[in-house]
A and B are shown apart, each in its own frame.
Chain A
Amino acid sequence: MNPEKVVFGFFIVLALTLNFGFFVGELDNPEHHNAWELFAVVVVNLIATVLKFGDRTQIGAILLSTSLVAMLQLIAAVVVWVVAVHVTGGGLTPATTASIVSLTGGAMIANVISVVLLVVEAFVLRR
């Protein structure tokens, strides 16, 4: 067992589970989506992205690109949140909440692809 692989897998799966945790709930209900959860998703995704740096294989390249997509979506979601709450002062209206949550939904798909690739790689290695 390679401890590096354990940490790698842990963060990639954690990125997905946290993302799912934030995403789940009514789309436009701010009560169902916690700011702290979004914070955790961003941090764990960042860590997962950095862990994927420097892998020269083909699968490594795709893993990195999925992470970059997820980060792009999540940062967009955070910016929307901050602008809604702090800049315009409009607060989390159902419309804003919906757009934030749908952005993280996109990030979640990227994270799902990441995990699928991870599993595929594990199977290929076994063979």
Chain B
Amino acid sequence: MDTVVFLILRRMRAPLLVLIVTYALTTAVLALIPGIDAAGQPTAPMSIFHAFYFVSYTATTIGFGEIPSAFSDAQRLWVLITLYLSVVAWIYSIGTLIALLQDRALQRAIVERRFARQVQRMARPFHLICGYGETGQALVQALTDRHQRAVVIDYDEARIDLLKLGGHREYVPALVADARRPDNLVAAGLRNPWCTGVVALTDVNKTNLKIAIVTKLMRPGLKAICRADARDVEVNMASFGTDHIYDPFDTFAVYLATALQAPCLVLLLTWLSGVSGEPLKDPIYPPATGLWVLCGYGRFGKAVYQHLKAQGVELVVIEADPGLTGTPPGGVVAGRGTEAETLEQANIHRAVGLVAGTDDDANNLSILMTAKQMNPKLFLVARENHLDNQELFEAVGAQIVMHPSTIIAERIRVLLATPLLSELATYARYRDHAWACELISRIAALVEDRVPEVWEVTIDADQAPAICAATGQGSPVTLEALLSDRRDREAQLPAIALLLVHRSERTLLPEGPVVLRRGDRILFCGAERARSRMEWTLHNDVALDYVLSGESHHPGTLWSLASRLVRGPVRHRD
């Protein structure tokens, strides 16, 4: 911690010694040489005090002409030497100090110390994000946009510089450091009680694995979320209890398969995880029956193949190098897919959809353009490998553009910001299609073409003091009451309770007179104003009283007195 001070002190030893010796020597000699008076008679030497005074202003080249009498020639000779000696000593000292401040080791120590202090001072929950590549950038952006805090570590200085230029809504402390080293993770707040989770998003699987291990060893209770691109690493991470492991390709393949089978469900989750206040996205209906052409049979292609096959979709695979990637059970069309001939072989004219899933953006774009020319009715799905090419993919007119980093970032953001929403997503998959469609129409009726606000409420002393107090006094509060308007209790707030968690029991879309108990967690979605009105009912006794009983008696003495005068004594609530 005090490395910086010690480093400076240690390095400044030699220059300080030089200064002391120079001052001592020049002062001493000056105080020994006799002076001369106006008549030319020798006088006693200067006192040590006067000599020190003279040396002090000479050495710093301030140079008053202030000392009382003119010097003797012997004194002048020594003053000459004093001048050159002391100026050199000062230049040496200042030079050393400047060199020291430019020293990389010192600068590094200063930066690390400042970073550790910033992290220590974080007095709100934050997430520790390792790796500031495209995924990390998207995640930090998404988190700070929602006023959540993050701490970032990356080994690449250029990326950290980028972060500092980023202009996020929340201040994001960042350090250039190797996230594989436990001490760096500790400096970044791994042991900090406010740290709510560690997210490993580096592009190296092994690093992510190491971060997960360190997290689980040092803070076993802490949530560890990792990105993994390979099956064996995933299994390895899961073996020691990593909480969430995301494989971008698998995640997307599941998404695509779900979109084919249950477009309403996909739309529901897209709406709920969007940025509130933005226009709602239109539903996408990929053709569920008919032939699909899949270009590329790498990691992405394999995941898509597996999940679409499981849906019973008819598939043709095009792969440039089947020897390297292996061949799917149904056989493969050899070729890149960028030329008409290969697409012809894959029956592009008969196909309803095409997935351009190679790891080269130029090839993917070329495939999409060629295929579109040959069959304009195709439903196009594109894999975008680099975010820089976003405009190109928009121009080519693909209905779904899949970008691995954004997908992972979005998933993790939902998980961190609204964990109940990611639970909801899991349960919703087991519901039928009609359930999701009905919920969508209910939400659409609430929020007039804008993405709804999604929020979680925990019934505890912190988030719902009024409800806790009422429950403690024996008047139970129902979900219905919480959802009624505090201005007019007959009216309902424009919000829906999506999920209620009571201990380990989960209720999807809880309705009516469900009694809320301490420790319950509820996920709501609805209009922005519903959230702020609900805050009132959660926090304010008077608002809650009104919602429960229809009576708004004010607890203040003055008001009670006034209302007693008007209405007689206050009635007790039964």
Contact = CB atoms under 8 A, between A and B. Distances in A.
Interface stretch (B13-21, B202-210, B421-429): B13-21
B13 A50 contact: yes
B333 interface: no
Interface residues of B, number: 19
B10 A86 contact: no
A56 B3 CA distance: 9
A35 interface: yes
Contacts of A47: 17, 20-21
Contacts of B17: 47, 50-51
Contact of B47 (A46, A53, A85): A85
A10 interface: no
B20 A46 contact: yes
Contacts of B12: 53
B100 to A, nearest CB: 12
Interface string B1-43: 0100011011111001100110010011000000000000000
Contact of B6 (A39, A54, A85): A54
B123 interface: no
Contacts of B48: 35-36, 39
A116 interface: no
A39 B9 contact: no
Nearest to B17: A50
Contacts of B64: none
Which of A54, A85, A86 has the most CB atoms of chain B within a 10 A radius of its CB?
A54
A24 interface: no
A82 interface: yes
Contacts of A43: 20, 24
B430 interface: no
A56 B6 contact: yes
A127 B13 CA distance: 30
A47 to B, nearest CB: 6
Contacts of B13: 50-51, 53-54
Contacts of A39: 24, 27-28, 48
A50 B49 contact: no
Contacts of A51: 13, 17
B10 A53 contact: yes
Given A36-B28, A53-B10, 15 more contacts: A39-B24, A39-B28, A43-B20, A46-B20, A47-B17, A47-B21, A50-B13, A50-B16, A51-B13, A53-B12, A53-B13, A54-B6, A54-B7, A54-B13, A56-B2
18 contacts: A35-B48, A36-B28, A36-B48, A39-B24, A43-B20, A43-B24, A46-B20, A50-B13, A50-B16, A50-B20, A51-B13, A51-B17, A53-B9, A53-B16, A54-B6, A54-B9, A54-B13, A56-B6
Interface of A: 35-36, 39, 43, 46-47, 50-51, 53-54, 56, 82, 85-86
